[in-house]
Structure 1
Amino acid sequence: MPYGQSQPYGPPGQPPAQYGPQGQPPYGQQPSYGQQYGQQPQYGPQYGAPPQYGPPYGQPGYGPPYGQPGYGVPFWTREVEPAIVAAPPGTAFHRLARTAKHRWWRPLLGTAFLAAAAFLVTAAVVVCWEIAHALITGDFSEPAGDQLFPGDTENLAITLTMLGALIPVVPFTAWLIQRRPAWSIASVLNRIRWRWLLLCCLPALGYIVLSYVLGILVDAIFPPTDNATDSGSWVGFSAFVGPALVILLLVPFQSAAEEFIFRGWLIQAVGAYGPDDTNGTGFVRRLKLVLRTPWPALVVSSGLFVSAHGYTGWAMADIFLFAMVIGWLTIRTGGLEAAITLHALNNLAAFLLPAATGQLDGWADQGGAPWTLLVVDIPCLAFYAFAVSWLAKRRQFLSVS
């Protein structure tokens, strides 16, 4: 090469004009490796390219394609399905268990779990009560028949306590098994509406007074045929104050626990089987429409409520009507408050009157009743249903979630 000329860069035989200064390709171009300029590079082991690792980009096993969920998103920021799901807005009380987590087996498993938990809780109450009784009196009691303890007041107290202890078990079952807010058992707002509960005391007191007045009138027109009936007499303040305190303190919890089970859990468990859609024709569509209504849940829960008591004859009809009315009010008002109030005040009157007249030993006696009991109770329940419905409408309470 003559002196003063620069060495051409690039492959032999190619004019230097195709390359930039000092052997670089023209401005803006990338060099090709193993190929002449202007041709597409070829990759492979023979050209020194590293081997491929894993499947081609975007194929199964490489990861989600670009733009799909999970691509480039850290695991700690990805959306996780909530563990507890509430019913969608606009859901009626009897369908609050029909959430996105609902499966056909959840109400059945929850009912079995609730029964087992109730047995364990009541057994624990009996054991603890027996220990406390022995520490106070100095000896353990020996059950006689259906009486756990020798005193009527103590037997009443432990029975009311065993039932009242079930109140937290029911919300816990809804939370654990059905994966929904625990206190959706109580109302569509997932809580107890205390002001509404206290307001319901007014029509409940009216129910008690009306029952007493109508009872006197009906007995005057149709005198009882049972001559063995004894109304008792006043036992005195000192003998009344002890049982009265037990009744006033524990009966509201016992009544609330029964409402949580029968008007809360059972109504919502049956209502959860109502389908979300009503598609279909003929009998199938009519069946779906019926299952979406609250009436199957009301009938089932009311029937089980009657079976849990020892009433017969007209008394069974009366308690079934009582359960149907307060169950309807529960759905109408979107919560258990009206049912708890009437149940508690009715039981307070039913326990306090025998305690005041020396007949508390028969507090657990259940059986038949004359037909006049049902005749008296029908207008009283109608009054309470109308009064509560009017108050709920006036106060504009939500009956759906």
Structure 2
Amino acid sequence: MRPFSAFFVLIGTLLAAGGYGATFFLSMHFRSMGGNDLDTGLALAEATVGTLVGVPLVGWFAQRIGAARTTALAALCIGLGVAGFALIDRMSGLSVFPGFLVGFGWGAFCLAAPMALAERTSDTDRGFWFMRFGTIQMAGIGGCPAAAAFAIRSWHWPLTSVLYLVGGLCALAALMLEVFGRISPHSSASPVQERWLRQIGAISRTRAAYPIVMISLCACVFSGLMTFQMSFVQGTHAQAGTFFSLYAVTVVAARWLLTRVVIRLHRAVATKLLLGIMVLGIAAMSAVPYYTGFHAASAVLLGTGYGLVYPTIQAQAVNDSAAMHRPAALTWFVVAYFVGTFGFPAIGGWVLVHLGKIALIALIAICGLAALMLAIMRDKHDRHSIGPFAGA
């Protein structure tokens, strides 16, 4: 991977990830039109449908047009979806279409982009570039809503203008990713196996099932705290933009400074420690109405715990699978992540509207604790396992 080529893929990733980060403003967008958080959840539920359609098609597209061009088209779909939300100026069923596009694009992007990187990196330096890719991706997810909140609050930009701008930046990302595919030579690599659906039975009989379910629960925590952040801070002196900024900075700093520390720890210990930190972040959010300092603490704890546990349990999902099932395990891992990311807001929105903030935070906490319990159960499975999966 040459630095010149890396510039295009990393900046393209940053901008495309900002398109997903813009969805954290949908709550504000729908409220401005007279809707509520239930409408936000329904729009993101449609994104779940888009994800479930987009992810299986990645292998088909990658075989025919290449993984890099597939990534570029996915970024363009994200941008069209974000701009589509801006076009809607009153409550209607039309929000399902941009929601579908965002989910379709982001789901395809998160699978096709690693494939494009894998084709262009060797075994020795792939880990380095994957870590850089993941860090830049997280920076875009948290940095976009932070910058948008600043523009809305300080420069008095209307939210629709912000959404149009983000949509345009996603189109620029698509162009950069297309250039990356053209200027960066690659080796032929097998795309995602088209039989990944059929392999769920074999995967469920291994310890790989634990991290796959865990990432779905962790994504529920992440999407719950981020999507409804503006509702959580209503009536307090806290600012949602501060949370997004601190989260983005923490994730980048944690991955740059603490990755080697996490790697040195036994993976089972690291997983439980990071999940515990994530749960503390939920607890801190519940205390924000009493002291706003807990708001910053929640962002830092979530950025550290979730930001580092994602690559940790992703490695577990791969390592706990037989070699022939690893592509399918990775695909199921991505699907499970998106079920939590886009599916949870549909439930969370209903809980927030009908039962209130405390009930929603309690539900998010249950998801975090359930992930921690699964990590403990995986370790018990580990101690009673023999053969190639033991001690991974």
TM-score band by shorter chain is 0.3 to 0.5
Q: TM-score, normalised by structure 2?
A: 0.33
Q: TM-score, normalised by structure 1?
A: 0.32
Bigger Rg, structure 1 or 2: 1
Query: Relative contact order: is structure 1 or structure 2 higher (C-alpha 8 Å, sep ≥ 6)?
Result: 2
More helix by share: 2
